[in-house]
Structure 1
Amino acid sequence: MEVVLAAAIAVVGTLMGSVITYLLQVRTAEHGERRRNREQLRQERLTAFCAVVDALHSVRRAEHDRWRHEQESPEGAEAIEARERSIELRPAAWSALTRLHLLVDEPELVRSAQRAYRSVRAIHWAQDEDDLHDRDRASRAALDAFLSAAAVYMREAMTG
């Protein structure tokens, strides 16, 4: 009888050990998957932030060129080309803003990026050289504000 009891205890212990091992492996796998998902989202957000900044800097340069060429010769070939270039770059900026909006759950950060876009777009409406410099400073400040907000968001996401 003792032998049967010892064997039964050994079988139950082995089964319990197997179940516990299985549960620990499932938990470890789920934890690893959550970490991978968080890291992937972090990378996608970082890429989205960089895409917004790159697109807005491109639009900013194009708006400067557009303004300069339109001041020299409003209907000249260079002015028309610069205008077309600034128009061509807008969809890339909107695409970057849309991706950011989809990936970020912080409305103020999205609004900051939108403010930067509007300030960059306003450059070519400058009335004169002084106004151009003011609009350029405002666009740089808006871009810097967005970058600062994005950096805070990323740091909080890493610690939270």
Structure 2
Amino acid sequence: METIIASGIAVLGTLLGSGLTLAYQQRATDRTHAFTRREKLRQERLDAYSVFAGALLNYRRSLVHLWFCEHEQPPPEDPDTVRVRAYDLRSAAQEALFRVQMLTPDDELSRTAEAVLADVTAVLKTDSRPEFDARRVRTRDAIALLISTAKQHL
């Protein structure tokens, strides 16, 4: 009888130990998967924010160049060629904006990113050189601020 009881206790101990080991391993696996998901999302956000900032800079640079082609004599390049390039860069910036908006958890950052794109677009809509220069500075600073704000979500 004692052997049966001892055997039962040994089996029960083994089962309990196996159950605890399984539970511990499952928790460790769950933590690893959660960490992996968070890290993948962080990397995707970093990529999206970087691509958007780069697209904004390229689009802004193209609009500045277009402004000079339209307002300075003689134009350094055919304005129509530069305009087509600017449209392509605007499309790239909008695509990058959509990715940022899908990945960011912050609605304010999403709205700010959209506003910065609109501000960059407005660079071309100036006639005077002082207003143009002021918009160039404003958009440069807005892009820098956007990058600084986006870093907080990484």
TM value normalised by structure 1: 0.90
**Corresponding residue number in structure 1 for 2:23:** 23
1:95 aligns with 2:95: yes
Alpha-carbon RMSD across the aligned residues, in angstroms, is 1.7
- Partner-residue secondary structure (3-state), 1:14: helix
Q: Which runs of 4+ in 1 moved over 4 A?
A: 73-77
Counterparts of 1:42 and 1:48 in 2: how far apart (Å)? 10
**Corresponding residue number in structure 2 for 1:80:** 80
Q: Count the aligned residue pairs.
A: 154
* Higher share in helix: 1
Q: Which amino acid aligns with 1:83?
A: R
> Does the CA contact (< 8 Å) of 1:112 and 1:145 recur in 2?
no
Q: Deviation per CA, 1:38-67: give whole Å up to 9, x if none.
A: 000011011111011000000000001111
Change (3 A) 1:73 1:82: farther
Q: Which amino acid aligns with 2:33?
A: E
- Partner-residue secondary structure (3-state), 2:105: coil
- Partner-residue secondary structure (3-state), 1:53: helix
> Does the CA contact (< 8 Å) of 2:120 and 2:139 recur in 1?
yes
Q: Deviation per CA, 1:63-110: give whole Å up to 9, x if none.
A: 011111112469996111111110111111111110011111211101
Q: Which amino acid aligns with 2:137?
A: R
Unpaired segments ≥5 residues, structure 2: none
Counterparts of 2:33 and 2:116 in 1: how far apart (Å)? 36
**Corresponding residue number in structure 2 for 1:158:** none
- Partner-residue secondary structure (3-state), 1:124: coil
State the Cα distance separating 1:25 from its structure 2 match. Answer: 0.8
Unpaired segments ≥5 residues, structure 1: 155-160
Change (3 A) 1:10 1:33: same
TM value normalised by structure 2: 0.94
Counterparts of 1:97 and 1:74 in 2: how far apart (Å)? 35
